[in-house]
């Protein structure tokens, strides 16, 4: 990894070129610059890198974004100052503002969520491929210690990834560099930065951890050593993810109706860590798309293994229903977590369409803009009595049927495509395509 073994020496032009080389794969990037030393140094290094790449066949366009969270009176002026520095370095700059009420607690987490949401929306509107942040080895060490305090496993202790993809691609090219190195870059070129007073507020966990790290440094427990451990754990995480993907392919069969079956014998023959990772993927796929807590996954794994506390034939984790049968697990969406209010279809390339419950893409061909079509879950709709389901779905668990999409025409049943059910007054002009979306 470029820059991974740097210590506190000055970053050379060659070092910077290696660190930022992955950015050359993109057409348009956004630098997230708050005005602090780390992000301003990222901006300076990026400007130098662009100049050094002047003769390269492809150079990305780089824009600079600053978010005014509205939490301090000086924030707007500081954002304007960053804009001046950015333009002096040859970059376009824009300030994004977080409007609305601010939470009384958890301010840093809420601000971070708002910041990434604002920047992601800007990227979408301006066709920027990724956000580049200035997270350093110091940030990585702080993150690892905070997660260690929560009992995190391999994934958590591997720290921040150099690349992540949610809610928008984020690149972190400076994880192998210390804050001291970046400040040396700024001092060498006479570039100012802004010190945020909240960086001294011990009311925030990260600041307390940062100060504790300084006290642990004489023992050799410093940013570089912790970041090195994180990189090695990231390597282990990658290997485990490959193993989990292979196990998932071996034991899992998905169905077009949005549920799946797991071969219980093969699943239980695998190492426990791989079992947990497969469960995590299944919960993400069929549940609420939130990351389930490891403790919750461990309880489900114990239940599957037949631990005493695991009585009963079903469990629910983050909106994913898991039913244990003799030789298999059935996994799918918990119908009770689905919004019962019908979702209207809108105009698309092929007709009226929508993505429903983040699981199914529904396209209605032959529909007109004036048609009042919507989708609701089967459990919220009155279906014809004594209907005989298509044979291929006759063994479908009831909770899966309850979570299937139903097409409504002016609020009345048109059809349940997966079950072969049609309404009494079904409009023959309409044909429905429903596809399950994998994540």
Looking at the structure, do residues 328 and 347 belong to the same domain, yes or no? no
What confidence score (pLDDT) does residue 6 get?
Answer: 47
CA distances from 340 to 119, 374, 417 (A): 32, 12, 18
Cα–Cα distances in Å, from 372 out to 57, 330, 405, 413?
51, 35, 16, 12
Residue 354 lies in a domain: yes
Instruction: Determine the pLDDT at residue 3.
Output: 42
Angle between the N-to-C axes of helices 272-286 and 294-305, in degrees from 0 to 180, rounded to the nearest 10? 110
Q: Are 174 and 182 in contact (CB under 8 A)?
A: yes
Is 90 within a domain?
yes
Across 70-93, average pLDDT: 95
Q: What is the CA radius of gyration of the chain?
A: 26
Which secondary-structure segment (H or E) carries 92? strand 92-97
Q: Is the pLDDT of residue 286 over 90?
A: yes
End residue of a domain, out of 292, 311, 333: 333
Average pLDDT over residues 35-55: 94
Alpha carbon distance, N-terminus to C-terminus of the chain: 29
CATH of the domain at 279: 3.30.465
- Which residue(s) pair with 142 in the sheet? none
Residues 222 and 73 in one domain: yes
Indicate if 84 and 110 belong to the same structural domain. yes
- pLDDT of 55: 80
Structural domain contains residue 40: yes
DSSP secondary structure, 188-255, as one string: HHT------GGGG-TTSHHHHHHHHHHHHGGGT--HHHHHHHHHHHHHHHHHHHHHHHHHHHHHEEEE
432 and 323 in a common domain: no
User: Does 131 map to a domain?
Assistant: yes
- CATH number, position 27: 3.40.50.620
Per residue in 311-331, pLDDT (tens digit) is 568 999 999 999 998 899 999
Residue 122 pLDDT more than 60? yes
Question: What does DSSP say about strands 314-317 and 320-324: parallel, antiparallel, or unpaired?
Answer: antiparallel
- Phi, psi for residue 408 in degrees, rounded to 5: -110, 135
Shared domain check, 50 and 122: yes
Does 8 reside within a domain?
no
The per-residue pLDDT for 165 is 79
More confident site: 206 or 384: 206
Task: State the average pLDDT over residues 31-45.
Answer: 97
Region 150-171: mean pLDDT is 89
d(CA 284, CA 261): 15
Bridge partner residues of 432 (DSSP): 364
Which range marks the domain in which residue 378 is found? 343-436
Q: What is the mean pLDDT of residues 121-137?
A: 95
**CA–CA dist 45, 128 (Å, integer):** 20
354 Cβ contact list (under 8 Å, min separation 6):
343, 344, 345, 346, 361, 362, 375
**Longest Cα pair distance anywhere in the chain, in angstroms?**
80
- In the prediction, which pLDDT does 202 show? 81
The predicted model gives 226-230 an average pLDDT of: 92
- CA dihedral (268, 155, 32, 222) in degrees, to 10, reads 180
Specify whether 321 is located in the same domain as 398: no
- Which of the two residues, 56 and 274, has the higher pLDDT score? 274
On whether residue 247 sits in a domain, the answer given is no
pLDDT at residue 307 above 50?
Answer: yes
Per-residue model confidence (pLDDT) at position 349: 72
Q: 1 falls in which pLDDT band (50, 70, 90)?
A: very low
- Residues 361 and 294 reside in one and the same domain: no
* Neighbour-count burial of 20, counting CB atoms closer than 10 A to its CB (0-12 exposed, 13-18 middle, 19+ buried): buried
- Judge if 304 and 419 occupy the same domain: no
Cα distance between residue 354 and residue 341, in whole Å: 14
* Total domain count, the chain: 3
Residue of 7, 4, 3 lying closest to 15 (CA atoms): 3
Give the 3-state DSSP-derived string for 131-199, with helices as H, strands as E and coil as C.
EECCCCHHHHHHHHHHHHCCCCCHHHHCCCCCEECCCCCEECCCCCCCHHHHHHHHHHHCCCCCCCHHH
Domain ends where: 308, 333, 358? 333
Would you say the pTM of this structure is higher than 0.85? no
In this structure, the answer to whether residues 89 and 144 fall within a common structural domain is yes
- Asked, for residue 379, whether it belongs to a domain, the answer is yes
31 and 120 both lie in a single domain: yes
Instruction: Give the chain's mean pLDDT.
Output: 89
Judgement on whether residues 61 and 161 belong to the same structural domain of the protein? yes
Q: 82 and 45, same structural domain?
A: yes
Q: Are 114 and 107 in contact (CB under 8 A)?
A: no
Query: What DSSP string runs through 12-72?
Result: PHHHHHHHHGGGGG-SEEEEE--SSHHHHHHHHHHHHHHHHTTTSS---EEEEEEEE-S-S
Final residue of a structural domain among 278, 312, 333 = 333
Q: What's the rounded Cα separation, in Å, for the pair 289 and 150?
A: 22
| CB contact at 8 A, 404 and 378 | yes
Peptide linkage before 325 cis (omega within 30 of 0): no
pLDDT at 5: 46
Query: 252 pLDDT exceeds 70?
Result: yes
pLDDT for position 347? 81
Instruction: Reply yes or no on whether the pLDDT at 111 is more than 70.
Output: yes
Does residue 225 lie within any of the structural domains?
A: yes
Please state the rounded mean pLDDT for residues 25-44. 97
4 pLDDT band, cuts 50/70/90, is: very low
Contacts of 15 (CB under 8 A, 6+ apart): 2, 3, 6
**Phi (first) and psi of residue 280, to 5 degrees:** -60, -45
Confidence of residue 384 (pLDDT cuts 50, 70, 90): low
Check pLDDT > 70 for residue 131.
Answer: yes
pLDDT by residue (tens digit) across 176-205?
Answer: 999 999 999 999 999 999 998 777 778 888
Task: Evaluate whether 430 touches 364 at the Cβ level (below 8 Å).
Answer: yes
């Amino acid at each position: 990894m470029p820059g991974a073994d740097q210590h506190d020496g000055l970053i050379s032009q060659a070092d910077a070129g290696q660190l930022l080389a992955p950015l050359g794969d993109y057409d348009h990037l956004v630098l997230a610059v708050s005005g602090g030393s780390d992000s301003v140094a990222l901006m300076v290094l990026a400007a130098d890198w662009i100049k050094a790449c002047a003769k390269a066949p492809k150079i990305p366009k780089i824009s600079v974004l600053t978010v005014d969270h509205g939490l301090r009176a000086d924030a707007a002026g500081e954002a304007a100052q960053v804009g001046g520095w950015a333009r002096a370095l040859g970059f376009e700059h824009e300030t994004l503002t977080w409007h609305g009420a601010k939470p009384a607690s958890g301010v840093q987490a809420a601000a971070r969520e708002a910041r990434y949401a604002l920047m992601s929306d800007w990227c979408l509107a301006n066709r920027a491929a990724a956000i580049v942040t200035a997270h350093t080895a110091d940030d990585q060490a702080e993150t690892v210690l905070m997660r260690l305090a929560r009992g995190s496993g391999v994934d958590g202790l591997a720290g921040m990834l150099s690349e992540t993809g949610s809610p928008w691609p984020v690149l972190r090219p400076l994880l192998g560099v210390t804050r001291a190195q970046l400040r040396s870059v700024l001092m060498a070129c006479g570039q100012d930065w802004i010190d945020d007073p909240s960086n001294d507020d011990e009311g925030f966990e990260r600041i307390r951890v940062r100060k504790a790290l300084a006290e642990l440094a004489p023992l050799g427990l410093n940013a570089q050593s912790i970041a090195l451990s994180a990189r090695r754990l990231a390597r282990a995480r990658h290997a485990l993810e490959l193993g989990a993907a292979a196990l998932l392919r071996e034991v899992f069969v998905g169905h077009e109706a949005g549920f799946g079956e797991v071969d219980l014998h093969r699943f239980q023959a695998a190492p426990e860590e791989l079992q947990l990772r497969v469960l995590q993927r299944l919960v993400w796929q069929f549940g609420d798309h939130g990351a389930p807590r490891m403790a919750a996954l461990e309880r489900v794994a114990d239940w599957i293994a037949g631990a005493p506390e695991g009585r009963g034939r079903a469990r629910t984790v983050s909106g994913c229903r898991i039913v244990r049968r003799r030789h298999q697990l059935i996994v799918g969406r918990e119908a009770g977590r689905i919004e019962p209010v019908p979702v209207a279809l809108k105009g698309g390339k092929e007709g009226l369409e929508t993505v429903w419950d983040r699981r199914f893409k529904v396209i209605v061909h032959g529909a007109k803009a004036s048609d009042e079509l919507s989708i609701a879950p089967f459990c919220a709709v009155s279906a014809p009595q004594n209907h005989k389901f298509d044979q291929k779905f006759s063994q479908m668990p009831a909770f899966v049927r309850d979570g299937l999409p139903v097409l409504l025409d002016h609020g009345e049943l048109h059809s349940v495509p997966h079950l072969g059910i049609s309404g009494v007054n079904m409009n023959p002009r309409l044909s429905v395509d429903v596809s399950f979306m994998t994540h």
